Amino acid sequence: MSRTINMLSSAHKIKGQGVLSAYEEQVSLVQNNLNDQYSVTINKLKYADIMHYHTINLEYFLTLPFTNIKSSHVGYVHFLPETLETSIKLPKLFKKIFYKYVIEFYKSMDYLITVNPYFIDKLVEYGISRDKITYIPNYVSSKRFFKLEKSERHKIRKQYGIDQDKFVVLCVGQLQIRKGFFDFVEVAKLLPNIEFVWAGGFSFKKISDGYEKINTIVDNPPKNVKFLGIVPREEMNNIYNMSDVMFLASFEELFPMTILESANCKTPILLRDIDLYKGILDGYYVKGTNVEEFKNEILKLRDDEVYYNKASQKAGLCSKFYSEENVTKIWRSYYNKIYKQGKKKGMKLSENKNK
């Protein structure tokens, strides 16, 4: 097979982050669905027709000149300086240098992929050509995440010490301020008869934004709140299935893998009403803007069966739209396009070198 893609990522070094989940799904999609056209290598610092960078490692950046003649460089945009600002705390000087490096890495790519169209304009503001940016959504395999039978749900709840009769509200994500952690806890305090569960931890340890204040609550949570810590991804299907609602109060996101995972399980989704979701998730979730509205939505989902079933159907529609089949078609077309353009680029560079 002549066409090759080299997937490069260090996301596996930091557990419990969406970048790792997105990377795993992307590699699986190409290996399983595009293997008639492309062979894939993983983290090999060598030439391939398409070098697909999922993280912005310095060693990747330094090798770009050596693969430039024959390879097309594709970079995934999982964050921008402003999103890092609300995720991790860095010393001022290091932060300034690192943020500049992030943009330089993106500028050095031939092509960029963003999982949310909202960020295309943001990248253009940083001086990156709109022509090199493409929106391709995340997806989650239905083989990894799917709805379980009620009998399985009972077993899972027993495993985690959760009452079978409780209405359970779940959040999945890193323990950070931007994830709406404090609103999550405040809503839980207002609803003492409902169980609240958070799956996720401090992926970036003590530099996680809000670490000390959040950790104080994690160590001494309200009686109806459980913090599970970082849960292995292979166990997360159980976590979604034992829950009644997926509640993510984030102030800022790109395209949360957790939303797609819960949608595959047909778990109703409650999100903060922010612009970031409008182009990718509108119509698939129920929404609120503050603690009071979140509280009222959760009560309505608990007490109104018709409303709950409609919310579950919305989640199911989301999983169908962002299905493996649909997203595979997009990636096949995209890789084929940049493969052809890469060949043309290689011919031009070789001609200029021989002049």
Domain shared by 331 and 311, yes or no? no
Cα separation of 76 and 112, whole Å?
A: 6
pLDDT-based confidence at 14, cuts 50/70/90? Answer: low
169 lies in which domain range?
150-321
Domain shared by 43 and 90, yes or no? yes
Predicted TM-score of the model (pTM): 0.87
Q: Kindly state the tokens that stand for 331.
A: 């990636």
Domain shared by 108 and 133, yes or no? yes
Domain shared by 258 and 175, yes or no? yes
Q: Work out whether the CA dihedral 219, 164, 243, 250 comes out positive or negative.
A: negative
Flag whether 184 is in a domain. yes
Mean pLDDT of 39-43: 92
Which of 84-98, 208-222, 302-316, 330-344 is least confident? 84-98
Domain shared by 176 and 62, yes or no? no
Flag whether 144 is in a domain. no
Q: Is the pLDDT of residue 296 over 90?
A: yes
Cα separation of 165 and 168, whole Å?
A: 9
pLDDT-based confidence at 355, cuts 50/70/90? Answer: very low
Which of 71-75, 116-120, 164-168, 251-255 is least confident? 251-255
Domain shared by 304 and 181, yes or no? yes
Domain shared by 327 and 315, yes or no? no
Domain shared by 135 and 121, yes or no? yes
Cα separation of 299 and 103, whole Å?
A: 44
Flag whether 289 is in a domain. yes
Q: How many domains does the chain have?
A: 2
- What pLDDT shows up at residue 349? 46
- What pLDDT shows up at residue 92? 81
Cα separation of 32 and 25, whole Å?
A: 10
Residues in the chain: 355
Flag whether 145 is in a domain. no
Mean pLDDT of 106-133: 94
Question: What's the CATH number where 247 sits?
Answer: 3.40.50.2000
